[in-house]
Every structure is written in structure tokens, then in C-alpha cells.
Amino acid sequence: MRLRFLGSTSEAGACPSLYETDRGTIVVQGLHLTDAAALADLRHVLDGESAVEVPRELLVDIARRVLG
């Protein structure tokens, strides 16, 4: 799998960041969600899965640029 950087709201371009894969999927880079109450709200978390918090403005910005 190969990744193409889409964008970030971080000043240093670190995380959270979004990437597009050559498989047509999106990869999220960010800090693991650690808030116990928020983790308890997640549904059907499989082994190997984790949750990452992403600012809404990052998703909106990427959606506008990628989807037109």
C-alpha cells in the first residue's frame, strides 16, 4: 500500500493528518483516543483497531479539495 499526504491542521504538518491510499481508502494519523468515557461510546472495536480524534475542519477542508 502507498500513501499520498492530503493535509493536516497541524502547524508543523505532523498530526492529525490524512492520507489517501492507492486502494481508494483514507488513513488517519493522530494521537490515540484515551478518554475512558469516549472509548466506552465506541461500538464493535475489533482487535487491532484504535480511535483517533480528528478536527472537523480538517475533514471539511480535505473533502472540499479532494471531492471538489
- C-beta separation of 5 from 19 below 8 A: yes
pTM score above 0.85: no
- Residue 12's pLDDT band (boundaries 50, 70, 90)? low
pLDDT at 6 over 80: yes
SS3 56: helix
Q: Please indicate whether residue 68 or residue 41 has the higher confidence score (pLDDT).
A: 41
φ, ψ of residue 17 to 5 degrees: the values are: -135, 155
Q: How far apart are CA 19 and CA 44, in angstroms?
A: 24
Confidence label for 65 from pLDDT (cuts 50, 70 and 90): confident
Q: How many residues does the chain have?
A: 68
- What mean pLDDT is predicted for residues 12-32? 86
pLDDT band at 31 (very low <50, low <70, confident <90, very high): confident
